[in-house]
Structure 1
Amino acid sequence: MTLRPRDAPPSATLSRRIEDAGLNASAPPQQALVDGWLLRLSPGKAKRARCINALQRGHLSLDILLARCRAVFASASLPLIVRITPFTQPHDLDAELASRGWHRFDETQVLALQDLKPGPLALPAGQRLLPVDAARYAEVVGQLRGNTPEQIAAHFERLAASPVRYQGHLLLDTKDRLLACGQIALEDGLAGLYDIYTPLEQRRRGHAQTLCRALIQRAAEQGARHAYLQVSDDNAAALQLYTRLGFVLAYRYHYRSETPYVE
């Protein structure tokens, strides 16, 4: 079967743009650069905001660089974890950490939906999409996930300080019951879908698909040409949903830690 252009894997250039947009969208106020590595130190739950992103090949030896990073993370009372992507520098960092016995975990796929087309927003009868501010959204999704007050506060802090504009939305029924919630983060023609969540009692009813279609449409109306999202390898239901929506694999990433990682 001949692939349509939107079904083809994203180009290397688009994948790189998506990675940069994802880094911008997940930027917490607490971060620092150490020899070309970006250290993120949020007290929140999202690992992408509390890890090392090895962006450049620096001048320090790996032993010295890891020792400096270890001290920074210890001062923030956070475990030392490294996010490994196809763009990680140096390119052999993953193999080197593996040889040192570092644990690999949280295999994640970054998916892309290309060539968005604006069109009318059509929701099922009796449903509406409610925009909410960052404080409300962090509280709603945090409570659904069972996050601690500190984690909810850190999520709000990250959203409020983000260099990328987030738009949180709640999908509600006629009785204002929450059916699903999610956010879009818009930057330079790219729309990131974040924090897509369906309450347990509302699952398997198509609400997440309805919400995602609505978010993508809202993004297209605002000039987004492509959408992206991140989903764990072990989230089979979400992967099926996003495949039905037309998302394709852009690239994968995972994390490594010196000791087994505990949430």
Structure 2
Amino acid sequence: MPLSPADVGHRVVVRRRLGVEHGRTVYGDVLGVLESWAGGRLALRRRDGELVEVAEDDVVAGKPVPAAPARRPRRGPANAQPAEPAEPAEDAPESGAALALVAARGWPATVTERLGGWLLQEAGGFTGRANSVVPAGDPGCPLDDALRRVAGFYAAAGLPPRIQVVVGTPLEGELLARGWQPRASGKRGFDTTDVRVAPLADVLSRTGAPAVEVTLGGEPDQAWLDLYGRSGPAARKVLGGGHHVALARLTASMAGETNDPGETGQDLVGIGRGVVTGRWLGVSAVEVVPAYRRRGLARAVMAALGTWGRDLGADWAYLQVSADNTDALRLYDRLGFRLDHQYRYYGPAE
């Protein structure tokens, strides 16, 4: 690989093996300043100040990051040799744990509590994102004491303790040493999530104008929730929460067709959610009825939400997607999104 110890002190991007999940090797990128390379280990300092150590044997690609921008290559088959990691055109406003806090504000839990730099969240069990701890800093007490506080918080809510851990951080090793393990989450049962980011202008230049009409609203109705696949009071509160929220709707009639009522029970065939938090547009809940996929409808939803977010002052976009959702990753690669970090939910031994 072109990276070498001579690059210590320079900004680099490294792709490393994270392990094997569901029979395939999982990879992740680390972007930061290479502070040391000794004893078979690389130490990289992320933009948010976090130090990430990587075993030299786990590095599969890496290079210094030049000033000139470059496009991210498309993601290949799951077991293919990974392409070189992407190099961003410019730094995002936040990264890593700081970006996780932005995302938490954009997917707001109904109950929160601060523990030093940790944010404890609960929303009646609706999604892992709104029912886990964001450990964005020091909890202000010894780790074992912090874990007892976390356990008590979730016990009071009748929920299992969960901590959203950035993959490869020291906290992950500390939790593993205490018997905590990765836990599945989400509608599809995945356990590793990509957090991907892109300059919003770049995304919009790739989506173009929406090919079909997309309407935006602020409250999810039952048809929207049915297509999303989750419902209930907590879902409505979280999905409708945030300072600036837009819920995208795309119907079969907007796409110039008449939907088969057997698919969804009404005309709705595509949805998405956007939330603006400072400079960030967060995109989530992009769903298209199976019979209407591969027609550019998801791209149209992204274009509508992106335009809305830009008009509210956002200039960067982020999204969270299962690391094994190859169809979604293929679309997001084409729209210019690159990996910022990955996270998993950790819970105590059961």
Taking the TM superposition and a 5 Å limit, the aligned residue runs for 1:247-258 are 247-258=337-348
Is 1:104 equivalent to 2:169 in the alignment? no
Question: Do the aligned partners of 2:100 and 2:134 also contact (CA within 8 Å) in 1?
Answer: no
- With structure 2 as the length reference, what TM-score do the two structures score? 0.63
Q: Which has the higher contact order (CA 8 A, sep 6+)?
A: 1
Q: List runs of 5+ in structure 2 lacking aligned partners.
A: 1-65, 73-86, 184-190, 260-266
Cα distance in 2 for partners of 1:68, 1:19 equals 21
- With structure 1 as the length reference, what TM-score do the two structures score? 0.82
Q: Render the CA deviation track for 1:87-134: whole Å, top value 9, x for unaligned.
A: x9xx5221011112211242111111215167897333xx32112222
Name which of structure 1's ranges 174-183 and 39-48 shifts more when overlaid on structure 2.
174-183
Q: CA deviation at 1:35?
A: 4.0
Structure with the larger helix share: 1
Q: List runs of 5+ in structure 1 lacking aligned partners.
A: none
Q: Render the CA deviation track for 1:39-74: whole Å, top value 9, x for unaligned.
A: 101114211100111123134222222122111101
Q: SS at the partner of 1:155?
A: helix
When the two chains are superposed, the root-mean-square deviation of aligned CA atoms in Å is 2.7
> Which letter maps to 1:14?
E
Question: Do the aligned partners of 1:141 and 1:195 also contact (CA within 8 Å) in 2?
Answer: no
Taking the TM superposition and a 5 Å limit, the aligned residue runs for 1:17-56 are 18-56=99-137
Cα distance in 1 for partners of 2:100, 2:140 equals 24
Cα distance in 2 for partners of 1:35, 1:51 equals 15
Q: SS at the partner of 2:192?
A: strand
Cα distance in 2 for partners of 1:161, 1:59 equals 29
Q: CA deviation at 1:255?
A: 1.3
Question: Do the aligned partners of 2:227 and 2:271 also contact (CA within 8 Å) in 1?
Answer: no
Question: Do the aligned partners of 1:83 and 1:253 also contact (CA within 8 Å) in 2?
Answer: yes
Q: CA deviation at 1:172?
A: 1.9
Question: Do the aligned partners of 2:115 and 2:140 also contact (CA within 8 Å) in 1?
Answer: no
Taking the TM superposition and a 5 Å limit, the aligned residue runs for 1:126-141 are 127-136=212-221, 139-141=222-224
Question: Do the aligned partners of 1:168 and 1:182 also contact (CA within 8 Å) in 2?
Answer: yes
Q: CA deviation at 1:12?
A: 6.4
Q: CA deviation at 1:141?
A: 4.0
Residue from 305, 309, 312 that aligns with 1:215:
305
Q: SS at the partner of 1:205?
A: coil
Question: Do the aligned partners of 2:161 and 2:348 also contact (CA within 8 Å) in 1?
Answer: yes
- Report the equivalent of 1:94: 172
Name which of structure 1's ranges 174-183 and 192-201 shifts more when overlaid on structure 2.
174-183
- Report the equivalent of 1:189: 279
Taking the TM superposition and a 5 Å limit, the aligned residue runs for 1:57-68 are 57-68=138-149
Identity %: 26
Q: 1:157 to 1:13 in 2, by over 3 A?
A: closer
Q: Render the CA deviation track for 1:151-176: whole Å, top value 9, x for unaligned.
A: x31021124443x3111111223248
Count of aligned residue pairs for this structure pair: 248
Residue from 108, 114, 124 that aligns with 2:199:
114
Question: Do the aligned partners of 2:192 and 2:344 also contact (CA within 8 Å) in 1?
Answer: yes
Q: SS at the partner of 2:129?
A: helix
Residue from 228, 242, 246 that aligns with 2:332:
242
Cα distance in 1 for partners of 2:94, 2:102 equals 10
Taking the TM superposition and a 5 Å limit, the aligned residue runs for 1:136-147 are 136=221, 139-147=222-230
Q: SS at the partner of 2:271?
A: strand
Question: Do the aligned partners of 1:70 and 1:80 also contact (CA within 8 Å) in 2?
Answer: yes
Cα distance in 1 for partners of 2:305, 2:70 equals 22
Runs (4+) of structure 1 exceeding 4 A deviation are 117-121
